[in-house]
């Protein structure tokens, strides 16, 4: 089943985000390579494709896991959690309807 992982960043966490980004992206690439990633990306903190020093306010990942517990475990092990980029992470079942 698909799961939506929504995370909110700590304030002023851009430097931590940039430092942990390679490990974070590598995990996403592993999901993609296994055919389990629907989409992933950050929420810019301002209305801009490239928010610059304003940074990001969080992230959205929609990926396929065996069950909710597996999705939660994967989310808890994210490098952004360990680096204290994310202040809150929620994991919910997601049913893809369109496209």
83 near 9, Cβ under 8 Å?
no
- Render pLDDT for 7-17 as a digit per residue (tens, 0 to 9): 999 999 999 99
- Give the predicted TM-score (pTM) of the model: 0.96
Running DSSP on this structure, what letter comes out for residue 10? Answer: P
Q: 2-47+54-94: which CATH topology?
A: Alpha-Beta Plaits (3.30.70)
- Render pLDDT for 80-99 as a digit per residue (tens, 0 to 9): 999 999 999 999 999 999 99
The end-to-end CA distance of the chain, in Å, is 17
Residues in the chain: 99
9 near 55, Cβ under 8 Å?
yes
Can you read off the two tokens belonging to residue 84?
């204290």
């Amino acid at each position: 089943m698909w799961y939506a992982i929504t995370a909110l960043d700590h304030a002023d966490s851009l430097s931590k985000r940039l430092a942990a980004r390679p490990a974070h992206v590598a995990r996403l690439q592993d999901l993609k390579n296994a055919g389990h990633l629907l989409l992933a990306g950050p929420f810019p903190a301002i209305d801009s494709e490239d928010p610059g020093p304003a940074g990001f306010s969080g992230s959205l990942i929609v990926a396929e896991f065996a069950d909710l517990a597996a999705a939660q475990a994967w989310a808890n092990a994210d490098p952004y959690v360990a680096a204290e980029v994310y202040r809150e992470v929620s994991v919910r079942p997601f049913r893809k309807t369109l496209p």
